[in-house]
Structure 1
Protein backbone atom coordinates (compact mmCIF):
# COMPACT_ATOMS: atom_id res chain seq x y z
CA UNK A 1 0.00 0.00 0.00
CA UNK A 2 1.33 3.41 -0.93
CA UNK A 3 1.90 5.94 1.82
CA UNK A 4 2.28 8.71 -0.75
CA UNK A 5 1.74 9.05 -4.48
CA UNK A 6 4.07 7.24 -6.87
CA UNK A 7 5.85 8.64 -9.94
CA UNK A 8 5.41 6.55 -13.09
CA UNK A 9 6.50 6.74 -16.73
CA UNK A 10 4.09 7.44 -19.57
CA UNK A 11 4.33 3.77 -20.57
CA UNK A 12 3.42 2.66 -17.04
CA UNK A 13 0.54 5.16 -17.11
CA UNK A 14 -0.69 3.78 -20.43
CA UNK A 15 -0.64 0.26 -18.98
CA UNK A 16 -2.60 1.34 -15.89
CA UNK A 17 -5.15 3.12 -18.06
CA UNK A 18 -5.56 0.19 -20.45
CA UNK A 19 -5.37 -2.76 -18.07
CA UNK A 20 -6.83 -1.35 -14.84
CA UNK A 21 -9.13 1.37 -16.20
CA UNK A 22 -7.28 4.00 -14.20
CA UNK A 23 -8.93 7.38 -13.88
CA UNK A 24 -6.95 10.08 -15.67
CA UNK A 25 -6.92 13.58 -14.22
CA UNK A 26 -5.50 16.38 -16.36
CA UNK A 27 -4.68 19.54 -14.42
CA UNK A 28 -3.65 21.70 -17.38
CA UNK A 29 -5.61 24.79 -18.40
CA UNK A 30 -8.86 24.49 -20.35
CA UNK A 31 -7.47 25.65 -23.72
CA UNK A 32 -4.46 23.33 -23.64
CA UNK A 33 -6.70 20.43 -22.59
CA UNK A 34 -9.06 21.21 -25.50
CA UNK A 35 -6.13 21.07 -27.93
CA UNK A 36 -5.29 17.48 -26.94
CA UNK A 37 -5.55 15.12 -23.99
CA UNK A 38 -5.49 11.46 -23.04
CA UNK A 39 -8.65 9.64 -24.07
CA UNK A 40 -11.27 9.84 -21.29
CA UNK A 41 -9.15 12.21 -19.20
CA UNK A 42 -11.06 14.47 -16.84
CA UNK A 43 -9.83 18.05 -16.55
CA UNK A 44 -9.84 18.98 -12.87
CA UNK A 45 -9.27 22.41 -11.40
CA UNK A 46 -10.38 24.25 -8.27
CA UNK A 47 -13.86 24.79 -9.73
CA UNK A 48 -14.72 21.09 -10.11
CA UNK A 49 -12.35 19.46 -7.61
CA UNK A 50 -14.99 18.81 -4.92
CA UNK A 51 -17.39 17.30 -7.46
CA UNK A 52 -14.62 15.05 -8.80
CA UNK A 53 -13.66 13.88 -5.29
CA UNK A 54 -17.28 13.16 -4.38
CA UNK A 55 -18.24 11.33 -7.57
CA UNK A 56 -15.34 8.98 -8.32
CA UNK A 57 -14.31 5.59 -6.97
CA UNK A 58 -11.26 6.21 -4.79
CA UNK A 59 -10.21 2.56 -5.02
CA UNK A 60 -9.44 2.91 -8.75
CA UNK A 61 -5.90 3.82 -9.78
CA UNK A 62 -5.60 7.55 -10.51
CA UNK A 63 -3.08 8.97 -12.98
CA UNK A 64 -2.47 12.72 -12.73
CA UNK A 65 -0.96 14.51 -15.71
CA UNK A 66 0.15 18.07 -16.36
CA UNK A 67 2.49 19.73 -18.86
CA UNK A 68 5.87 18.26 -17.84
CA UNK A 69 5.23 16.07 -14.80
CA UNK A 70 6.06 18.65 -12.13
CA UNK A 71 2.71 20.08 -10.98
CA UNK A 72 1.18 16.62 -11.15
CA UNK A 73 3.35 15.50 -8.24
CA UNK A 74 1.76 17.84 -5.69
CA UNK A 75 -1.67 17.16 -7.19
CA UNK A 76 -1.13 13.39 -6.96
CA UNK A 77 -0.15 13.79 -3.30
CA UNK A 78 -3.31 15.85 -2.65
CA UNK A 79 -5.47 13.17 -4.32
CA UNK A 80 -3.74 10.53 -2.19
CA UNK A 81 -4.53 12.55 0.95
CA UNK A 82 -8.17 12.77 -0.22
CA UNK A 83 -8.45 8.97 -0.28
CA UNK A 84 -7.14 7.87 -3.70
CA UNK A 85 -4.75 5.23 -2.34
CA UNK A 86 -3.33 4.42 -5.80
CA UNK A 87 -2.39 7.94 -6.88
CA UNK A 88 0.25 8.35 -9.60
CA UNK A 89 2.06 11.32 -11.12
CA UNK A 90 3.00 10.83 -14.77
CA UNK A 91 6.65 11.76 -15.31
CA UNK A 92 7.21 13.88 -18.42
CA UNK A 93 3.58 14.97 -18.50
CA UNK A 94 1.72 15.49 -21.74
CA UNK A 95 4.92 16.65 -23.43
CA UNK A 96 6.23 13.10 -23.06
CA UNK A 97 2.87 11.38 -23.65
CA UNK A 98 2.33 12.90 -27.11
CA UNK A 99 5.65 11.47 -28.32
CA UNK A 100 4.50 7.87 -27.73
CA UNK A 101 0.70 7.86 -27.55
CA UNK A 102 -2.28 9.37 -29.38
CA UNK A 103 -4.27 12.26 -27.95
CA UNK A 104 -7.82 13.37 -28.59
CA UNK A 105 -9.08 16.92 -29.02
CA UNK A 106 -12.30 18.31 -27.64
Structure 2
Protein backbone atom coordinates (compact mmCIF):
# COMPACT_ATOMS: atom_id res chain seq x y z
CA UNK A 1 0.00 0.00 0.00
CA UNK A 2 1.25 3.45 -0.85
CA UNK A 3 0.00 6.95 -1.50
CA UNK A 4 0.05 9.27 -4.48
CA UNK A 5 0.99 12.92 -4.82
CA UNK A 6 -1.83 15.35 -5.57
CA UNK A 7 -1.34 18.79 -7.10
CA UNK A 8 -3.45 21.83 -6.27
CA UNK A 9 -5.05 21.96 -9.72
CA UNK A 10 -6.41 18.43 -9.33
CA UNK A 11 -7.66 19.12 -5.81
CA UNK A 12 -9.41 22.29 -7.03
CA UNK A 13 -11.01 20.33 -9.86
CA UNK A 14 -12.25 17.64 -7.48
CA UNK A 15 -13.69 20.24 -5.10
CA UNK A 16 -15.43 22.13 -7.93
CA UNK A 17 -17.04 18.86 -9.06
CA UNK A 18 -18.05 18.02 -5.47
CA UNK A 19 -16.21 14.72 -5.62
CA UNK A 20 -16.54 12.95 -2.27
CA UNK A 21 -13.21 13.15 -0.47
CA UNK A 22 -11.81 13.51 3.01
CA UNK A 23 -9.38 16.37 3.63
CA UNK A 24 -7.21 15.58 6.64
CA UNK A 25 -5.04 18.38 8.01
CA UNK A 26 -2.14 17.26 10.21
CA UNK A 27 -0.79 20.71 11.12
CA UNK A 28 -0.82 21.85 14.73
CA UNK A 29 -4.23 22.73 16.25
CA UNK A 30 -3.61 26.50 16.33
CA UNK A 31 -2.61 26.64 12.66
CA UNK A 32 -5.66 24.53 11.75
CA UNK A 33 -7.96 26.90 13.65
CA UNK A 34 -6.40 29.98 12.04
CA UNK A 35 -6.86 28.74 8.49
CA UNK A 36 -7.61 25.57 6.57
CA UNK A 37 -9.03 24.26 3.31
CA UNK A 38 -12.83 24.32 3.72
CA UNK A 39 -14.19 20.96 4.78
CA UNK A 40 -10.91 19.80 6.32
CA UNK A 41 -10.81 17.74 9.48
CA UNK A 42 -7.92 17.97 11.90
CA UNK A 43 -6.11 14.64 12.14
CA UNK A 44 -4.14 13.98 15.30
CA UNK A 45 -3.92 11.16 17.83
CA UNK A 46 -7.14 12.31 19.52
CA UNK A 47 -9.25 12.48 16.34
CA UNK A 48 -7.83 9.48 14.46
CA UNK A 49 -10.29 6.97 15.94
CA UNK A 50 -13.36 8.95 14.94
CA UNK A 51 -11.99 9.64 11.48
CA UNK A 52 -11.24 5.94 10.99
CA UNK A 53 -14.77 5.01 12.09
CA UNK A 54 -16.70 7.39 9.85
CA UNK A 55 -14.55 7.56 6.71
CA UNK A 56 -15.26 4.91 4.06
CA UNK A 57 -12.09 2.99 3.16
CA UNK A 58 -12.65 3.67 -0.56
CA UNK A 59 -13.11 7.44 -0.18
CA UNK A 60 -10.11 9.45 -1.41
CA UNK A 61 -8.12 10.85 1.54
CA UNK A 62 -6.09 14.00 0.94
CA UNK A 63 -3.51 14.66 3.65
CA UNK A 64 -2.49 18.30 4.15
CA UNK A 65 0.48 19.64 6.13
CA UNK A 66 2.43 22.91 5.93
CA UNK A 67 4.52 22.33 2.81
CA UNK A 68 3.73 18.81 1.57
CA UNK A 69 6.52 16.95 3.37
CA UNK A 70 5.07 15.59 6.64
CA UNK A 71 1.87 14.70 4.83
CA UNK A 72 3.77 12.08 2.83
CA UNK A 73 4.59 10.10 5.97
CA UNK A 74 1.03 10.42 7.25
CA UNK A 75 -0.37 9.40 3.85
CA UNK A 76 1.85 6.31 3.76
CA UNK A 77 0.67 5.40 7.27
CA UNK A 78 -3.00 5.86 6.32
CA UNK A 79 -2.53 3.70 3.23
CA UNK A 80 -1.14 1.03 5.54
CA UNK A 81 -4.32 1.25 7.63
CA UNK A 82 -6.43 0.01 4.73
CA UNK A 83 -7.48 3.23 3.00
CA UNK A 84 -7.43 2.59 -0.74
CA UNK A 85 -6.94 6.08 -2.26
CA UNK A 86 -4.56 8.20 -0.21
CA UNK A 87 -2.95 11.42 -1.46
CA UNK A 88 -0.39 13.87 -0.10
CA UNK A 89 -1.10 17.44 -1.19
CA UNK A 90 2.00 18.82 -2.90
CA UNK A 91 2.88 22.27 -1.56
CA UNK A 92 0.66 21.78 1.48
CA UNK A 93 -1.55 24.41 3.03
CA UNK A 94 1.08 27.10 2.45
CA UNK A 95 0.84 26.72 -1.32
CA UNK A 96 -2.95 26.38 -1.16
CA UNK A 97 -3.24 29.65 0.77
CA UNK A 98 -0.94 31.43 -1.71
CA UNK A 99 -3.02 30.37 -4.70
CA UNK A 100 -6.52 30.13 -3.14
CA UNK A 101 -6.32 32.77 -0.40
CA UNK A 102 -9.97 33.70 -0.81
CA UNK A 103 -11.01 30.08 -0.14
CA UNK A 104 -9.68 29.58 3.38
CA UNK A 105 -11.86 28.70 6.36
CA UNK A 106 -11.01 29.71 9.92
CA UNK A 107 -12.46 29.21 13.39
CA UNK A 108 -12.82 26.11 15.51
Counterpart Cα distance in 1 of 2:21 and 2:94: 20
Shift of residue 14 of structure 1? 2.1
* TM value normalised by structure 2: 0.89
Q: Is the contact made by 1:17 and 1:24 (CA closer than 8 Å) also made in structure 2?
A: no
Counterpart Cα distance in 1 of 2:79 and 2:104: 26
Count of matched residue pairs: 104
Q: Is the contact made by 1:34 and 1:105 (CA closer than 8 Å) also made in structure 2?
A: yes
Counterpart Cα distance in 1 of 2:4 and 2:52: 19
Please name the residue that 2:79 is paired with: 80
Counterpart Cα distance in 2 of 1:9 and 1:47: 28
Cα deviations by residue, 1:30-58 (Å, 9 ceiling, x for unpaired): 10001100111000101111221122111
Tell me, what secondary structure is at the counterpart of 1:105?
coil
Structure 2 residue ranges without an equivalent (≥5): none
Residue 12 (structure 2) pairs with residue 14 (structure 1): yes
Cα deviations by residue, 1:3-26 (Å, 9 ceiling, x for unpaired): 410011111122233432211000
Tell me, what secondary structure is at the counterpart of 1:88?
strand
Counterpart Cα distance in 1 of 2:39 and 2:2: 25
Structure 1 residue ranges without an equivalent (≥5): none
CA RMSD of aligned residues (A): 1.2
